[in-house]
Amino acid sequence: MDDSMTGYSSITQTTGARAAAHTVMLLAALFGCGIGVPAEAHIGVGPAHCTPLPGAQTWLDRHVTLWDPVLSQERGYQRPDRVTVCVLEGSLPFADNRTNRLYVRGLDSTNDQITLAHEYVHIAFQHFPSGHDERYVERTARRLIATHP
């Protein structure tokens, strides 16, 4: 293979990677789910500030107690000592695994409940591969909300 083909292949791979990353972010924006990206990726610099979201915090605390027996049956589940629910200031809900903070818009709809459950599952399974598998996380969140609305 000559140098011109190698250069073309490299450009195609870079363009393909950018397109794939763009597609993932677009899907996340459309479906309102976080990608498990660290907090600083959402705000640009340093860790995200947390403005508590008391109603969502109370709701999550109550539901974690209901979800715990269900999630305890799953490999890799580790109930976090404390998870803080914060007001989302960016565009995509997300979980910050380093601080055990969930950033969400609110708790006004079933979709918001699923989003909060989704981000909690990321934290609860953060040390296991399933916590980084978006399909598993979303399916688990929807199952939790369907059984414990």
* pLDDT given for residue 91 in this prediction: 82
Label residue 48 by pLDDT band (50, 70, 90). low
Question: Please, are residues 59 and 76 in contact by the beta-carbon 8 Å criterion?
Answer: no
Tokens at 104, concatenated: 């969400």
115, pLDDT greater than 90: yes
Nearest to residue 37, comparing CAs of 107, 119, 106, 113?
119
Q: Which residue has the tokens 């974690």?
A: 64
Which pTM value belongs to this model? 0.69
Question: Please, are residues 82 and 99 in contact by the beta-carbon 8 Å criterion?
Answer: no
Q: Please write down the long-range contacts of 55-61, taking CB distance under 8 Å and 24 or more positions apart.
A: 55/106, 55/107, 56/85, 56/104, 56/106, 56/107, 56/116, 57/84, 57/85, 59/107, 59/113, 59/116, 60/85, 60/102, 60/116, 60/120
- Average pLDDT value for the chain: 78
Residues 75-87, mean pLDDT to the nearest whole number: 95
* pLDDT given for residue 25 in this prediction: 44
Buried b (16+ CB within 10 A) or exposed e, 66-88: ebeeebeeeeebeeeeebbbbeb
Percent of the chain exceeding pLDDT 70 equals 68
Residue-wise pLDDT tens digits, 52-78: 999 999 999 999 999 999 999 999 999
